[in-house]
Amino acid sequence: MTTTVMNKIALKNPFKFREDEAVPTLTPEQMDAFGVELDAIRARVIADLGEVDREYLYKIVRIQRRCEIAGRALFYLPVIGWLPAVAALSVSKILDNMEIGHNVMHGQYDWLGDPDYNSRVFDWDTMAPAENWKYGHNYMHHTYTNIVGKDRDVGYGILRMAEDQPWRPYYLGNAAYAFGLMMLFEWGVGVHDLEVDELVAGRRTWAENRDIGARIWKKVKKQVTKDYIMWPLLTGPLFPLTFAGNFTANIVRNIWTFNIIFCGHFPAGAQTFTIEECENETRGHWYYRQLLGSANISGSKLMHVMSGNLSHQIEHHLFPDLPARRYPEIAAEIREICERYDLPYNSGPLHRQLGSVFAKIVRLSFPTPRRKVTAVTEVTAAPMAA
C-alpha cells in the first residue's frame, strides 16, 4: 500500500511548528479500514458499560458536592478559611464543569436512565445555557472539528488560531484577546452562540439570536444571583469576602478550562482543514480529521480527572459519547493503530502543549509569511494489519 503525502512545505519562520510538516493521508481503502477499526473499539466499550461507570460518576458527584459544601462553610471562617474556601469551591466548580457537566451533556451517561444525569435536562454551574452549548459544542464543534469557516471554536470568533484565517490588523491584539477570553472564559462560552462577529459583519440578524439571547439572559441572571447576591448575603457581614471568594473561584475555573481546551486543539501539530478538504467525507475520514485536529495532555490521574479527561482530547473527539473515564484505557490502543497507519498521535505534557499554544497565538498575531513549496513526494506506508 502507498500513502500519498501532501505537499511538503518549507516555511521561513522563526517559529517552527509541526503543522508545517508533511501530514500523511490515507488511500480510500485505508480510510475505510481505519474507520472500521475505530468503530469496533466504540462498539466494544459500549457493550461493556455498566456498574463501574455508574459508580465512577456518582463518586465524582459526591466529591464535587463535598468540596462545594466545604467551600461554602469555610466562608464563615474568613480569618483561617478564605483561601481554603476558595480552593475547595474552585475544585467543585472545575469538577462540575469538566468531569460532570461537559461529559453528562455529551450524553455519555444517558444509558444510565437516571434523569439527574440525562443530557436532555442536565444543566451546569456556568454562564452557558445547556441548550445553546449542546448545539454550538456537541453539534457544530464536534461535527466540523477544526474546519476553518465551519467550526466556530477555531478562534471563537475573536482570535486567529489558524493560518487559513485571513490576517487583518485587528489580530495584532491576538494575545490580549486570548488573555481576556481566558479570564472570562465562562462568559465567552456563554455568548459564543450569538455569533457577534457574524452580526457585526451583517451575515446574521438579531432575529436569529432572539431565542439564544433569551436563554443566555435567563442563565446569567441565575448565575449572578447565586454567586454574587444569594451566597454572599447568607454570610451576612462577610458579604464582601464571600463575593470576592466566589469571583476568584470562577476565575480559577475559567483559567483552568481555557488552558485545557486550548491545549486540546491548538498546540503544535494540531491540524486545521478547509471546507473543500472535507466534502463527501466518509466515516473513516471523519475519524482521521478528529485525530489530526486534536491533541492530548500527558500527566497524572488527578490531572486527567480535573480536566474531565479532556486531557485525552483525541479519544474524546473520536468517541464523544463514551464515558470519559474510558479514554485512558483505550488510549494505548488508539496510539497503536495510529502507528500502524503511520499517523501522528499528538500528546505531550501540559507545559509543552501550553507553550506551543501561546507561541501560536503570538505568531498568528502577525501576517503569515509566504510559503515556499519544495517538493511533492510519495512514500510507502508503514505495514498495516488487515
Which residue matches cell numbers 485525552?
312
215 contacts 132 by C-beta, under 8 angstroms: yes
316 contacts 71 by C-beta, under 8 angstroms: no
228 contacts 246 by C-beta, under 8 angstroms: yes
* pLDDT tens digits along 126-166: 999 999 999 999 999 999 999 999 999 999 999 999 999 99
Total Cβ atoms within 10 A of residue 205: 10
* pLDDT tens digits along 79-98: 778 999 999 999 999 999 99
Is pLDDT above 90 for 66?
yes
| DSSP codes joined into one string, 299-362 | --HHHHHHTTTGGGHHHHHH-TTS-GGGHHHHHHHHHHHHHHTT----EEEHHHHHHHHHHHHH
313 contacts 333 by C-beta, under 8 angstroms: no
Alpha helix segments (H runs only) across the chain:
28-48, 51-74, 78-95, 103-105, 130-133, 142-143, 174-183, 185-191, 196-200, 210-225, 231-234, 239-265, 283-292, 301-306, 313-318, 327-340, 350-363
Can you say how many angstroms the Cα of residue 61 is from the centroid of all Cα atoms in its chain? Answer: 21
Using DSSP's 3-state secondary structure scheme, residue 106 falls into coil
* pLDDT tens digits along 309-361: 999 999 999 999 999 999 999 999 999 999 999 999 999 999 999 999 999 99
Helices 283-292, 28-48: crossing angle, 10 deg rounding: 80
Q: What is the pTM of this model?
A: 0.88
Using DSSP's 3-state secondary structure scheme, residue 119 falls into coil
SS (H, E, C) 166-212: CCCHHHHHHHHHHHHHHHCHHHHHHHHHHCHHHHHCCCCCCHHHHHH
Cell (9 digits) for 254? 475559567
98 contacts 122 by C-beta, under 8 angstroms: no
Residue spans per domain, the chain: 126-365
- Written as one letter, the residue type at 170 is Y
Percent of the chain whose pLDDT exceeds 90: 84
* pLDDT tens digits along 4-23: 333 333 333 323 334 545 67
Using DSSP's 3-state secondary structure scheme, residue 368 falls into coil
* Integer Rg of the chain from CA: 22
